[in-house]
Structure 1
Amino acid sequence: MSEEEIEAVAGLLEDETARAILTRTSREPMSASELKQQCDASGPTIYRRLERLRERDLIEEQTRPDPDGGHHTQVYAPNLRRVTVELDDGELHLEIDRREDMSDRFTRLIEDI
């Protein structure tokens, strides 16, 4: 990972709202409005952090169907299990262990065919 990417991920993980989004959604996927309440942040702040987390592939957007109203809600879930920082011979190395469920692997397999 480049120095710029390491700084971007470290900056996100340093941000209290981004950390709150990751920890809250690790229990269950949440919508932006649920995150606004849970994280005690404004709507624009939540959306900015979600965008930054998506840019670094640290969170994923999912669709939650509403069986009663027929509408769908966008919810967010973390796309990582572990972030590891290693110092080796004067260089920092960052490794992100991302989540990937069976449906994602199947979709990727089909797209590669």
Structure 2
Amino acid sequence: MSTENATILAVDDERELVEIYRTWFDGTYAVRAAYGGREALSAFDESIDLVLLDRRMPGTSGDDVLDALREDGHDVPVVMVTAVEPDEGIIELPFDEYVIKPVDRTKLLEAVDRALTRAEDDTASDVLDALGDEKTRRCCRVLNGDEKSAREIADVTGYSLPTVYRRLNTLRQAGLIDSRTTIDPGGDHYEAFTTITERITVELGEFTVQCEPVSKQEI
């Protein structure tokens, strides 16, 4: 994930405050609005790079939204922006930054930048970990620019199918490949894998691989 052109979901039951956030981030980040917890959960999708989340909202609270996102497996950075002073109860909450209202533009921008940068660093680490394995690198290189089934990758590399599937799973978890179910001329379904948008170049010793991490909309 890149901090440039990130999309933020601003969640607060105070509409005026959400509009202030939109003004503050104008020209830096795209901002989508949700005026309550349930609306936030409905509005959230994989194109969201960060959530600005009010903690105290009627009905579905910010804590509820955060728990729901994590339970669904979303590791999107969350910046809590709230009038609730931190206490022992926040220790177990899986947020990335905690900002107390009233907040000024500079402090909020700094908190958002920190959260996005940490998320980007984590993604880069996952990529390096994945490509540290020679067989994983070769599977990625075979896919670079083409769409292939696991069996086709096995035929090219000479690896067994279980080995190929393990490496493909590693690449997918690192956000380097995507897959789709397709149908061959005989009518059989199979999974086709490919590298995707936003090119990365990773150099490991004498080996250089160019892979393209999956855009969040396509996962």
**Which TM-score bucket, shorter chain as reference?**
0.5 to 0.7
Identity of aligned residues (%): 30
Which residue, 76, 79, 94 being the options, matches 2:196?
79
State the AA in 2 paired with 1:49: R
- The answer to whether the 8 Å contact 1:66/1:72 transfers is yes
Q: Is there any run of 5+ residues in structure 1 with no aligned partner, and where?
A: 86-95, 108-113
- The answer to whether the 8 Å contact 1:20/1:39 transfers is yes
**What is the distance in 1 between the residues matched to 2:139 and 2:212?**
18
State the superposition RMSD in angstroms: 3.1
- The answer to whether the 8 Å contact 2:176/2:212 transfers is no
User: How many residue pairs were aligned?
Assistant: 93
Q: Is there any run of 5+ residues in structure 2 with no aligned partner, and where?
A: 1-118, 203-210
Higher helix share: 1
Q: Could you tell me which residue of structure 1 aligns to residue 176 of structure 2?
A: 58
CA deviation after TM superposition for structure 1 residue 97, in Å: 6.0
Closer, same or farther in 2 for the Cα pair 1:5/1:74, shift >3 Å?
same
Any idea what SS the aligned residue of 2:148 has?
coil
Which residue, 48, 55, 71 being the options, matches 2:166?
48
State the AA in 2 paired with 1:82: R
5 Å-filtered alignment, 1:67-106, equals 67=185, 69-83=186-200, 98=213
**What is the distance in 1 between the residues matched to 2:200 and 2:159?**
25
Question: After superposition, what is the alpha-carbon deviation per residue over 1:65-103, rounded to whole angstroms, capped at 9, x for unaligned?
Answer: 223x22222110012542267xxxxxxxxxx96465xxx
TM-score (normalizing by structure 1): 0.63
Residue 8, structure 1, aligned to residue 117, structure 2 = no
**What is the distance in 2 between the residues matched to 1:76 and 1:97?**
12
Structure (1 or 2) with the larger CA radius of gyration: 2
